[in-house]
């Protein structure tokens, strides 16, 4: 479980995150939603340590990440996996080498064991036949699946996904969502996902926080989204006429 307590982040005199308090539970897909520029990527970057919060606490199963020294952070980071918006695969490495990379760096396995584990991960994301290809030779959806395979190679306890559906067609997005959700349950990970994809919200949002202008505006789950009377949330989620009609019909 990851617990965020009174988290603030400012850039010079601009407050980007204001008093965020939430819990992200294990075995669940925890979504952070909000408009572009609302602060969700900053929150994600604070959680993984790419940005330092101005104040507040981030507790990984009770361990305060903000107050950890460099070595403690490095050790904790080996329990994290991350899927980036751009997949962030290493261009100079093949698909198999990309998945093997965390194992090469941090595991004490033999070469055969590392290859076997990497192939298991690729198999889990249905990419066994692409192991010799390079990131530039595969589609965006396949790149995201390789990123998922790389993220789970070391059996992480915490999985972070920064807009994993960005740039993908709706069908591929659903495949990626389903994969992330299934892996979360299978590995009992604490998964945190930034998104503004409404299919993700309604499909895999076990827990959802809605951020507006740096404030935590709403918290709930996918079953509560449609019936919520929070105007900012409904305006954001049911932005189009079609979705508003669908909501009225549902309610």
Partner 1 sequence: MFSAIFKPLQTFGRYLQLMGKVFARPERLRMYWKQYVKEMQQLGVDSIGIVLMISFFIGAVICIQMKVNIQSPWMPRFTTGYTTREILLLEFSSSIMCLILAGKVGSNIASEIGTMRVTQQIDALDIMGVNSASFLILPKIMALLTMIPVLVTFSMVAGFAGAYAISFAGILTPDDLTYGLQHSFNQWFVWMSIIKSFFFAFIIASVSSFYGYTVEGGSVEVGKASTDSVVHCSMLILFADIFLTQILS
Q: Which of residues 159-188 bind partner 1 (CB under 8 A)?
A: 160
Cα 49 to the center of its chain, rounded Å? 14
Min dist. Cβ of residue 220 to partner 1 (A)? 28
Nearest residue to 154 (alpha-carbon basis) of 191, 109, 91: 109
Contacts with partner 1, 59-78, as mask; x by CB under 8 A:
--------------xxxxxx
Which of 11, 67, 90, 116 is in the footprint of partner 1 by CB under 8 A? 90
Min dist. Cβ of residue 49 to partner 1 (A)? 8
Rule CB under 8 A: is residue 142 a binding residue for partner 1?
no
Contacts with partner 1, 104-133, as mask; x by CB under 8 A:
xxx---------------------------
Residue 18 or residue 48: which is nearer to partner 1 going by CB? 48
Which of 33, 89, 122, 127 is in the footprint of partner 1 by CB under 8 A? 89
b/e code 143-177 from CB counts within 10 Å (16+ = b): bbbbbbbbbbbbebbbbbbbbbbbebeeebbbbbb
SS3 31: strand
Structure tokens at 231: 């105007």
Residue 5's beta-bridge partner residues?
A: 57
Identify how many contiguous H helices and E strands the chain contains and give both numbers: 10, 10
- For 204, counting Cβ atoms within 10 Å of its Cβ (0-12 exposed, 13-18 middle, 19+ buried), the class is buried
Rule CB under 8 A: is residue 230 a binding residue for partner 1?
no
Return residues touching partner 1 (CB under 8 A). 48-50, 73-78, 80, 82, 84-86, 88-92, 101-102, 104-106, 160
């Amino acid at each position: 479980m990851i617990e965020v307590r009174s988290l603030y982040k400012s850039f010079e005199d601009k407050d980007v995150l204001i008093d965020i308090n939430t819990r992200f539970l294990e075995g669940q897909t925890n979504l952070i939603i909000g408009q572009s520029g609302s602060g969700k990527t900053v929150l994600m970057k604070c959680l993984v340590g790419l940005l330092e919060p101005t104040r507040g606490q981030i507790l990984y199963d009770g361990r305060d990440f903000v107050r950890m020294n460099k070595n403690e952070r490095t050790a904790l980071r080996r329990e994290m996996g991350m899927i980036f918006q751009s997949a962030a695969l290493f261009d100079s490495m093949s698909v198999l080498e990309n998945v093997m990379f965390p194992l090469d760096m941090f595991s004490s396995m033999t070469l055969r064991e590392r290859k076997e584990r990497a192939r298991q991960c690729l198999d889990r994301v249905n990419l066994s036949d692409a192991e010799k290809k390079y990131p530039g030779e595969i589609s965006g959806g396949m790149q995201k699946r390789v990123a998922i395979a790389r993220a789970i190679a070391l059996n992480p306890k915490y999985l972070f996904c920064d807009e994993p559906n960005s740039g993908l067609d709706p069908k591929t997005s659903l495949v990626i969502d389903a994969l992330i959700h299934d892996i979360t349950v299978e590995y009992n990970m604490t998964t945190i996902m930034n998104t503004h994809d409404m299919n993700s919200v309604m499909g895999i949002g076990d827990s959802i926080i809605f951020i507006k202008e740096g404030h935590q505006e709403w918290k709930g789950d996918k079953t509560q989204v449609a019936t919520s009377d929070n105007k900012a949330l409904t305006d954001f989620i049911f932005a189009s006429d079609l979705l508003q009609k669908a909501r009225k019909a549902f309610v």
